[in-house]
Structure 1
Amino acid sequence: MSQLIKVETVTGAAILPLLPELARLRITVFREFPYLYDGDLAYEQSYLRVYAEAPAAAIIIARDGEKIVGASTCLPLAAETPNVQRPFRDAGMDIPRIFYFGESVLESAYRGRGIGVKFFEAREAQARAHGYGITAFCAVQRPVDHPARPKAYQKLDDFWRKRGYTPHPELVCTISWREVGADRETEKPLMFWTRNL
């Protein structure tokens, strides 16, 4: 593992050759708690393609040498699916003013080295560069006594608050995926956090 991790913003068609590696990374990291996602490479590549196609979208890439060890996505909320937009629409918020942070994934060996901060800085820079005044992301909600919760698990709430984000229990969407060991997809609640830039 190198001491120097390169973090760069990738947009448009330059994302396309990275899709297989990004899909693998997402499946690996999201298999862990709290997502417990049993992913599929073909679906992941198809899902990630929107970031190559949506105007103003980007993927922030962290590399150790040539290997991608982390990635963080962002795009206008208006380019997201209706179920992700719905809580904002129901609250009367202006969807075209909001820039959405899809997810951040980082291999466990690289955590705690400031890469998460760089992911937020780069996505916020992307939002500002395209004239957005609000950034938002959502995180899955799991009960404290969830049987798969590792004893050493630490929520990221304090990290997000330090970055200037506020939780909104009134803004919740649902997304379906199949968990590890399950035979079908089930809906999961995800709560939004926002920041005014």
Structure 2
Amino acid sequence: MPSTPPPLPQGIHIETLTGDALVGRIGDLAALRIAVFRDWPYLYDGSADYERRYLATYAAAAGSVVVAATDRPGGRPGGRMVGAATGLPMRHEPTSLTGPMAAAGYDIDRLFYFGESVLLPEWRGTGIGVAFFAAREAHARGLGGFTHACFCGVVRPQSHPHRPVDAVPLDGFWHRRGYAPVAGAIGRMAWRDTGCDIETTKPMQFWARAL
């Protein structure tokens, strides 16, 4: 069943961006990714130049979408981006991601992939994250031909020196959205952690649900 988002905070507007509208907000999305992913569990040491190049390639993929949460009086579109979530057909992703899902029995051409979901800390727990899932699922259904949605999350060891003592995994939130881990489906992504000089490859656990 489709996810039903709760009422949004006053002044928040959810925009589903594709095509030129998506391209026009790449700078905002890049800034959000750098700010939010710097924290646990991603610890991502990003740069604006890399982000713009990565996101320009993403925006060019047929079927891609950015769902943006903007903060503006009256909830009107066009305000400051306080959060965003991305998605695109899985076939556009590299084999380091498509391979594990194909091996798990999924038809890559019928799989819609959710990329990042980033939200400034002061807006978490307000229903925006639920709206991100609902809007991306609706976009995938609207494209037609997709049977499942999936995403992956980084797996960090319990003994990681930068794990906060009060860290709470998002597993419960994802389960409530109807997603479940895909047994044995571990993707791989590489990035440079904060405080490190080189990129390292991280395991990424896949989650999926039927659309």
TM-score norm. by structure 2 comes to: 0.90
Matched-pair contact (CA < 8 Å) for 1:51–1:59: no
Question: Does structure 1 residue 18 correspond to structure 2 residue 25?
Answer: yes
Which runs of 5 or more structure 2 residues have no equivalent in the other structure?
A: 1-8, 73-78
- Partner residue, 2:11: 4
Alignment of 1:67-78 (within 5 A): 67-78=80-91
Identical amino acids, percent of aligned pairs: 48
1:55 to 62, 69, 91: 62
Matched-pair contact (CA < 8 Å) for 1:61–1:70: yes
- Partner residue, 1:176: 190
SS of the residue aligned with 1:74?
strand
- 1:100-150 Cα shifts (integer Å, max 9, x gaps): 000100000110100000000000001110121100000000112221111
Q: Which moved more, 1:26-35 or 1:92-101?
A: 92-101
Q: Which amino acid aligns with 1:60?
A: V
Matched-pair contact (CA < 8 Å) for 1:140–1:188: yes
- Partner residue, 1:95: 108
- Partner residue, 1:130: 143
TM-score norm. by structure 1 comes to: 0.96
Q: Which amino acid aligns with 1:75?
A: L
Structure scoring higher RCO (CA < 8 A, sep ≥ 6) equals 2
Question: Does structure 1 residue 141 correspond to structure 2 residue 155?
Answer: yes
Paired with 1:183 and 1:55, the residues of 2 have a C-alpha distance of: 34
Paired with 2:115 and 2:169, the residues of 1 have a C-alpha distance of: 18
- 1:154-184 Cα shifts (integer Å, max 9, x gaps): 1110010011001124000110000000000
- Partner residue, 1:109: 122
- Partner residue, 1:150: 164
Paired with 1:121 and 1:43, the residues of 2 have a C-alpha distance of: 29
Shift of 1:99: 0.2
Alignment of 1:35-46 (within 5 A): 35-46=42-53
Matched-pair contact (CA < 8 Å) for 2:104–2:182: no
The structure 1 segments of at least 4 consecutive aligned residues displaced by more than 4 Å after TM superposition are none
Paired with 1:94 and 1:17, the residues of 2 have a C-alpha distance of: 32
Q: Which amino acid aligns with 1:54?
A: A
- Partner residue, 2:175: 161
Q: How many residues align?
A: 196
- Partner residue, 1:120: 133
Superposition CA RMSD, Å: 1.2
- 1:62-109 Cα shifts (integer Å, max 9, x gaps): 001211010000000011122111102233421001000001000001
Paired with 2:156 and 2:183, the residues of 1 have a C-alpha distance of: 13
Paired with 2:102 and 2:178, the residues of 1 have a C-alpha distance of: 23
Alignment of 1:81-92 (within 5 A): 81-92=94-105
